[in-house]
Amino acid sequence: MTDDAPDADVRPDGGTEAAGADDVALDPWGSSTVSDYRKLFEEFGIEEFDEVLPEVPDPHYLMRRGVIFGHRDYRPVADAMRDDEPFAALSGFMPTGDPHIGHKLVFDEIIWHQEQGGDAHALIADLEAHSARGLTWDEIDEHARDYILSLLALGFDPDEGELYRQSDNRELQDLAFELGAEANFSELQAIYDFDGETDVSHMQSVVTQMADILYPQLDEPKPTVIPVGPDQDPHMRLARDLAARMRFFKVTEAFASFEADDAERVLLRRAYDARGEYAEDTDRPRCGEAADWLRAEADPSDARDSVAEKLDSAGKEPLRPRTRFLDRQATGEAFDALVEAVPGEKRVYDEHVDAFELDHAEADELAREVELDHGGYGFLPPSSIYHRFMTGLTGGKMSSSVPASHISLLDDPEDGYDKVKSATTGGRTTAEEQREKGGKADECPVYELYAYLLSGDDDEFAKEVYDECVGGERLCGGCKEQAAELMEEFLEEHQEKREEWAEKLDGIDIDLDSDRKRA
């Protein structure tokens, strides 16, 4: 929530400023913070979650309060949820330290999607922890157990979902091997800034993470969401690219026998729609006619010049919309089967098939059916949702290496109480000034605790805390006392549930004692 909108929906910070970095730097293994979440919409193509929120049935409070602020392609997941169709959710946890309240955001997101009917997958990224962070297998085993216990204590159903370790999942490793054939060092270097000193295991861990993201679709293609912080977006972009590269066919819009890129297709559509202005026969506009019209009507650009040249080369070929199946890596049998399956009028070329009686959605479904019938994966592009970083209790970034900045889910409840009582706030210098001007809830780590965790599903309570703060009724001492008591209660309850699950952990289908060498 921004300072000038105190009556709006409950928000932790309105997406303007957060303590930390001065620019947008997305590093999956660094200590990324984002100073302006809005920049992510412009620079990386992340979409605002508010736009899809009305389509989500019974949205989680993290969605309602704007903690989940962005998404990539979440609509297929929301549609599947609403229509009671298969979908999945997955996230991984790198066991480098104690699970803390920041990790709880992701735990909650996975659990909520499971409760909505999704196939839920949670994994321990032990290969990544070993290769990218240098943890020993003993350290990994200890931390992995703690992550799993907290996930179970918060409500993950192991009977309905899947838990696994990267190092124990052979299907995952086989998929990673196949994905590795579609990626190269130059690409990883550009995305992750790898160099000649980057070890091969670290690079392998990236491909393994790509396999994690696509793993829920091994049995069947289905909409799949990966809840992440924005620093993990490079992984999502690469995973979506690899999912497309693994497909047998790419389905695009075309207007003639030649290929066109996205910008050129926009101009071709314009030329086709304007055919009444230039075509001798509007039922069969010629490519050469369209080229002359584009040069006269469209603004000069590289796309205009290149597409006009292609149209000139096509000459008297009719300009006619069609749906194109491009052969990416289909077997000969699969390509022949696709040709046979395309209904109605079609044109068959060496490396593509043009269909004149299928729209894009129908063509995409047909391409996937043929691919699956001939041993392909048929992956759907994975979706993602993005949550804000929690501010550290001491201000700045919440860091596992600074115990006072975060609350571990393993902290003694009394220590959790003390940490909240000692936390930085968004209060004014004096009580009188706060009563007069109101507190700065949008800049307050303690208010974040209410919005992200302590209010639970009670939006009215979260809004009451916010309104009382910015209205000057709530002073920091009493506010921290209430938050500290709630935190103590939460930790007590959570740890009791952890103890209950610890007694049942041997019955869970995941091996928490690695038999790898203790390197």
DSSP string, 232-272: GHHHHHHHHHHHHHTSSEEEEEESSSS---HHHHHHHHHHH
Cα pseudo-dihedral 199, 200, 206, 209, rounded to 10: -120
Domains of the chain and CATH, by start: 249-373 (no CATH), 403-493 (1.10.240.10)
Q: What is the pLDDT of residues 313-347, one digit of tens each?
A: 999 999 999 999 999 999 999 999 999 999 999 99
Structure confidence at residue 133 (pLDDT): 84
Give the model's confidence band at 516: pLDDT under 50 very low, under 70 low, under 90 confident, else very high.
confident
147: left (phi over 0), alpha (psi -120 to 50) or beta: alpha
Contact 290, 319 (CB under 8 A): yes
Least confident span in 206-215, 467-476, 506-515: 506-515
- 229 CB-near residues (< 8 Å, 6+ apart): 32, 386, 387, 389
267: left (phi over 0), alpha (psi -120 to 50) or beta: alpha
The yes-or-no verdict on residue 467 having pLDDT over 70 is: yes
Q: What is the pLDDT of residues 399-448, one digit of tens each?
A: 766 778 889 999 999 999 999 999 999 888 888 998 999 999 988 999 99
What is the chain's length?
A: 519
Token duo for residue 87: 């979908």
Structure confidence at residue 429 (pLDDT): 87
Q: What is the pLDDT of residues 180-205, one digit of tens each?
A: 999 999 998 898 888 888 888 888 98
Contact 452, 444 (CB under 8 A): no
Distance CA 319, CA 144 (A): 59
Q: What is the pLDDT of residues 258-317, one digit of tens each?
A: 999 999 999 999 999 999 999 999 999 999 999 999 999 989 999 999 999 999 999 999
DSSP-derived 3-state class of residue 514: coil
Structure confidence at residue 428 (pLDDT): 87
Q: Walk across the sheet containing 322-327 and list its strands.
A: 249-254, 322-327, 352-355, 346-348
Residue 57, number of CB atoms within 10 A of its CB: 11
Q: Which residue has the tokens 């103590």?
A: 488
Residue 59, number of CB atoms within 10 A of its CB: 18
Give the model's confidence band at 101: pLDDT under 50 very low, under 70 low, under 90 confident, else very high.
very high
The percent of residues above 70 in pLDDT, for the chain, comes to 91
pTM of the model: 0.88
Report, as an integer, the average pLDDT of 379-386.
97
The yes-or-no verdict on residue 83 having pLDDT over 80 is: yes
Contact 154, 409 (CB under 8 A): no
Q: What are phi and psi of 119, to 5 degrees?
A: -75, 115
**Which tops the pLDDT comparison, 35 or 111?**
111
Q: Half-sphere exposure of 96 toward its Cβ, with a 13 Å CA cutoff?
A: 17
Q: What is the pLDDT of residues 146-177, one digit of tens each?
A: 999 999 999 999 999 999 999 999 999 999 99
Whole-angstrom Cα Rg for the chain:
27
Structure confidence at residue 74 (pLDDT): 98
